[in-house]
Amino acid sequence: MAAYQQGDYAQAANYSEALLAVLERDLGPSHPEVATALGNLATLYALLGRHQMAGPLLERALRVREHALGATHPDVANSLYNLAMHHRDIGQYAAALPLYERALAILESARGPEALPGHLPGHLPGPVPGDLDVARVLNGLAALRVDLGDPAAAQPLLTRALAIRERALGSDHLLVASTLGNLGSVLQDLGRYAQAERHLQRAARIREQQLGATHPDVAQSLNNLAGLYDAQARYLEARTLYQRAIDIYSATLGESHPLLADSLNNLAVLEQTLGDYALAEQLHRRALEIRRTVLGDDHPDVAQSLNNLGHLNDEQGRLDEAERQYLKALANWEQSLGADHPEVATVLNNLAELHGARGRFDLAAPLHRRSIEIREAVHGLQHPELATALHNLAAFYEARQRPELAEPLYLRALQILEHALGPSHPRVATTLNGLAALEASSNRSALALAHYQRSLSIRRETLGATHPDVASSLNNIALLHASTGREQQAVALYQQALDILEPVRPDSHSPAKLPSDHPLLGTVLHNLAGAQQALGEQTQAMRNYARALSLRERVLGEGHRDVAITLNNLADLQLLQGRTEAALETIRRATRILGARAELQARSLTGADLALARADRFAFVRHVRIAHAVTSTSGSAAAHAPLMDEAFESAQRAHASSTALAVAGMATRFAAGDDRLARLVRRTQLLTTRWQRLETKLARVAARPASERDAEGERKLRADLVRTHAELEALDGSLRHDHPRYADMIAARPLPLTDARSLLSKDEALLVWLVDNDASYLWVVTSDGARWHRLSMGEAELAASVRRLRSRLDPSRVRAGGRVPEFDTTLAWKVFSRMLEPAFEQIEQVSHLIVVNDGALQSLPLHVLLTRPPEQSGALAAAIDYSALRWLGRSHAISVLPSVSALRALRAQVVPGHATRSFIGIGNPRLSATDPTPAEEPPGVNITDSRAIATQPVVGLDLLRELPELPQTETELRTIAGILTEGDAQLLLASDATEPAVRAAALDQARVVMFATHALVSGELGGLHEPALVLTPPLRASAADDGLLSASEIARDIRLDADWVVLSACNTAAGERPGAEGLSGLTRAFFYAGTRALLVSHWPVESSAAAALTTRLFTIARTHPELSRAEALRRAMQALLDQTGSPSIGPHMAHPMYWAPFVVVGQGWR
C-alpha cells in the first residue's frame, strides 16, 4: 500500500503479484479472496498503462465471484463495476454500459447493509451500506454517459448519487465531495458555469476541512476548479489554483509522482494559452520526464505529453518537431489503447490540421475522416467530440473553397450538439456561426441571417449581454446586412457591438473587463466605417477608419494584413472625397504591406490563405485605379510616368493574387525532396507558418479581459514574432539568390516598366491588361516607351461577352451533321473596340504582340477579335465570308505570357536545345473502368514519412472515368508524328498513357512533346486543388499514380528540353470559366520543367482542323526556321482562313472555331 501511495505502481504491482500467488496456493484459484487480489492487481496494471493485462484479470475475478457467490451477489456487482471501468479506460464504451447497468440492478435489488470487500484507493474502501454501493455505480454510469456524449443524462444520475451519500454520510463527507466534483464537471460540460463553480468550490472546502489544506485530494479539487476557470477564460485565477495543486503534490508526494505530472500538464496547457511558450514547454517536458521515469515509455500518459508538446510546437509553427511528436503519440496510443481509441482520434485530428497548414491537403483529408470514423465507432453518432471532428473537417473543406462538402458537415455537427448539449449551449452558437458564414459566402443571406440571429440569442442567454462573443455575433449580422444593401440596420448593430467593446465609465455597473484595445473593436470600427461610407456619412466613416487603423497598428503591428485592409478602405474613401493625392499615399502603404506578405507567404499557402490572397487583389487594383485618377487630374504626362510604372507593378501583384491557387501546390511538391532546394523550401514553409500563428496568437492574447492579460507573455510573443519575421525575410533572400527560377515560378517579383522595355525588340509590343469592376486598364510597352489606358469595359460585361463568343467556338456544341453556329462578329469587334482599339495606333505597325491577359480575356484567344467592324451581321454562318474579315490574328503574330515577370525569365533562357528525338506524343487515355470495383484511395495512408507523400490522390477515380473518351486524339497524334519524324517518334496511347509511363519516357530528348488529353483547372473536379492533365487512371490510386499529372508534378518531376509542348484537347488554355487559372499553373510548371514554348488550345479542337493546323504550323517552322513561333502559328491560321496549303483545308475552316483555338505561350519570339 505504501508503494501505491508513493506512486511506485510498478513496485506495488510486484507485491500484488506475489500476494496473488500466495492466495492461489493457500486458498485455491476459485476463492473469493483470490478475486479481490485479482481486482487489486488489475487496478495497478491499469495505472501502469498495461490495460491488455488488466482486462483478463478482471474477467477472471468476475467468473470466480459468480461461481463462488452466485450471479446476484453484491461482490459480483463490484466485479462488474471494475470490469466496466476497464472498458471505459480503453474506450470500449458500448461494452461498459451493460456491465454498469447489471451492477446497478444487482445492488438495487439487494439493498441493505451488506458489506463489500475493501479495495485500493480509488475504489470503495471498507464495508459500507448497500445504498452507498448504488451511489458508487451511479457515479461510474454517469461518467460513462459523459463519455458517450450525453452529459444531460449524467446529471440526474449524479444528483441521485449525491443525495444518497449526503443522507447516508452527511453533507461534509469525502465521498460527498467526490460526487460534487463529478457533478460540477458535468454542469461545466453543459455550459452551466455558475452552478458548476458552486459544486466544485464546495467539494474543495469539504476536502480542505476534512484532510487539511495540503492533502493531495485537495489538490485534485483545485485542479478541477482551475479547469472550470480555464474554460471561462479566467486564466490568472486558473493559474493560481494549478500552481497551488503543484505545490501540494510536490510537498506531499514528491517530485516524481504521476499526479504531479498531471498538474504540470494542466498548467503547461494554460501557459500555452497565455502565450508563454517557453514556460509551457518547460512544464510539459518536466511532466513527460516524470511519466517516462515512473510509468515507462509505453504508458498512455506519455503519449498525452507527447501530443501536448506536439500541439505546443504546432501552434508555434515548429511543424517538423510537432509532426514527430504527434506520430510518436499516435504509435503509443495505438499500441497501448488500441487503434480505435478516442485518444487516437484526437491525435489524428491534430495531424490532419498540421498537414492542412503545410498545404498537404490530400494527406489531411483521410486523417480527418479516420478521426471521425473512430469517434462514430466509439462514441456513437451523437457525441459532442464527434461534432468537433465534423466541425474541423467542415472548416477544412471551407478553407479549400469546397462549400458543398463543408455544409452537410456543419449541419450534422449542429444536430449532434443540439441533441447532446441542448439547443442553447454556447457550442451550438459557435457551429451556427460557422454555418452562417458559409451560407453568407454562398449568397444565401436569408438563411445566414436566421442562423446568425439564433447564435446571437444563445450567446446572450448563456454568456450574458456584454460578452465579447455577443459583440462578435452583432458584428457578423451587421456585416451581412451591409453586404445586402441594408447599411442602416448594419450601423445600428455595429453601435450595439461598440457599446459592449468600448471601455465603460467608472460609475457604470457593467462589468468593464474588456481591454480598450480589443482586436474585435478594431474590426467593428472598420466595418462600421464601411457602412457609414456607403450611406454617405463620410465624416463619421473617416473618423472610425482612423480609429480602427490606430488600434490595429498598435495591437497587431504595422505589417499586419488587417492594417492593410483598413488602409485600403480608407484610400477608397479619400478617393471618393476627391483627395486623390492622400488616397495614393494611403493605398501605397496598403499595397506595400500586402505585397511583402504575399512574397513571404506564397510558398506555404493554405486554403484560407489562398482565399485571402485572392481577396487582396482588390487592394492592388484599387492602387491602379487611384494612380490613374491622379494622372487624370493634374500634371504632365512626363510627371506621371513614375505613377504609370508604380501602377504597372501593382497590376502584376493583382495578377499574382488571382493565380495564387494555380501555383500553390508546387511549393508543397518541392518541399518533399531531399536536396538543398527542398530543405530551403521546407524551412521557409515552417517559418511562414510560425509567423502566421504568432500573429494569430498575439491577436487572441490581446482580446483577453484586462485582468487576464500577461504583459510579460505578450512581450515575449512580440519579440518572437519580430525574430521570426526577420529570419523569414533572410531565408527568402537566400532562396531568391540561390534558386531564382524556382522563386520566379512560385512568387516572382514585379518587373519594372523600364526593365520590360529593355527586353523588347523594335518589332514587339507588350500588352498587359488589368480588369476592374467597371473599367479595365491596358499598358502598351515597346522598346521606345510605354503608355497606359483606362478602358470602358469592366469585369461583368467582359465576362458576359467572352462567354458569348466562346459559345460559338466550341465544336462539342455542334450536333452531328448540324450547322456551325454563326460567330458573333459584331461582338468580336465590340470587345476589340473597347479593350484594345484605344491603344491600336501604338501597335498597328508592330508585328508581334506579347500579351499578359487578365480576367475573362484569359479564356479567349485574341486572334478572334476584329480590328474593323464587320460589314455583315445577323446572317447565317454560311453567308458570312470569315476569310474577308479583319482578324487581329491575321495582322499580328501573338504570343501569351502567364505573367509579366515571365518575360524576364524566358528572355534569359537562351541555351540552345540538345534534344535528339523529334516527337513524343501522349494521348487518348483510356478512361472507362476496366475493373468493376476500382479502389478510390490507397488501402492505407502512410503517415510515418510525410515527405514521401507530399501529394496523395485526391480526385476519385470514378470522377476521372466519367470524363468523355478522346479517340480522335490518337489520329491527331499519329498524323503529327508522321509529319515531324522519320521513325523516331514515341507514342503513349490508351492504356500506355499512364503516369508511370510518362515519368519513364525520355521526355527531355524530344524537341516536341504533345499531350492530347483533358486538362483540368483547379476545382473542376471534386478535391482538385491545382491544374492537371488527365492520363489513364490506374485500377487503384496511389501517390505515384492517381491518373493526373498535376502542375506541381510537372515542375518537380519532369525534365524537358523541348522547343514545343503541345496541349491539345479540352480546357488546356484556361477553361470555359472566364478568368480560370489553369493556363498560369500549367504553363509555369512546363517552363520550369524546361520547355521554351507551349501550343495550347482554348477549346476542344475538331480533328481534321487540329491535324491541318498543327501540320501546317510544324511544316512552316521546319521549312522557315528564321520565323518566330508566333509568326509560324499566324501563317498556319492564315492558311486555314484562306483555304490554302492542303487539300484537306475546306471553306468551312475559315470559321474561327477551326483556325483560332491555339495560342503560343512562352517564347513566341523565337
| Strand partners for 1060 | 1008
| Amino acid residing at 338 | G
What is the model's pLDDT at position 285? 97
Going from the first residue of the chain to its last (1166 residues), give the mean pLDDT of each consecutive group of 10, the final group possibly shorter. 69 87 90 91 85 90 92 93 89 89 90 42 44 92 87 93 94 96 93 92 96 95 95 89 96 93 96 88 97 91 96 88 96 91 94 85 87 89 90 87 89 93 92 95 94 96 89 97 96 96 52 67 96 97 97 91 96 96 97 88 56 80 96 74 94 80 57 70 77 79 70 80 85 81 75 95 96 97 95 96 92 70 94 96 94 94 95 57 94 94 81 84 84 36 32 63 86 84 86 95 94 80 76 87 90 90 69 51 86 89 81 88 94 89 74 94 88
* Stated length of the chain: 1166
What is the model's pLDDT at position 303? 96
What is the model's pLDDT at position 48? 82
Phi, psi of 965, rounded to the nearest 5 degrees: -65, 160
The dihedral through the CA atoms of 536, 540, 544, 545 has a sign that is: positive
Listed in sequence order, the residues at least 6 apart from 486 whose beta carbon sits closer than 8 Å to its beta carbon are none
| Strand partners for 1029 | 1015, 1045
Q: What is the pLDDT of residues 470-491, one digit of tens each?
A: 999 999 999 999 999 999 999 9
C-alpha cell at 309: 508538446
296: burial class by Cβ within 10 Å (0-12, 13-18, 19+)? middle
What is the model's pLDDT at position 932? 36
Contact of 148 with 88, CB cutoff 8 Å: no
Half-sphere exposure of residue 880, counting CA atoms within 13 Å on the CB side?
A: 24
- Note the helical H segments in 748-794: 753-758
Q: In what order do the strands lie in the sheet with 764-771?
A: 786-791, 776-781, 764-771, 848-852, 893-896, 1158-1162, 1093-1097, 1060-1063, 1006-1012, 917-925, 986-990
- Residues 1165, 242: Cα–Cα separation, whole Å: 72
Q: Which CATH architecture has domain 917-929+954-1162?
A: 3-Layer(aba) Sandwich (3.40)
- Residues 96, 49: Cα–Cα separation, whole Å: 18
Among candidate residues 540, 663, 708, the one with its CA nearest the CA of residue 1017: 663
**CATH 3.40.50 residue spans of the chain:** 917-929+954-1162
- For the chain, the first-to-last Cα distance in angstroms comes to 89
What is the model's pLDDT at position 661? 54
What is the model's pLDDT at position 360? 77
| Strand partners for 1030 | 1044
What is the model's pLDDT at position 919? 93
- Residues 550, 565: Cα–Cα separation, whole Å: 13
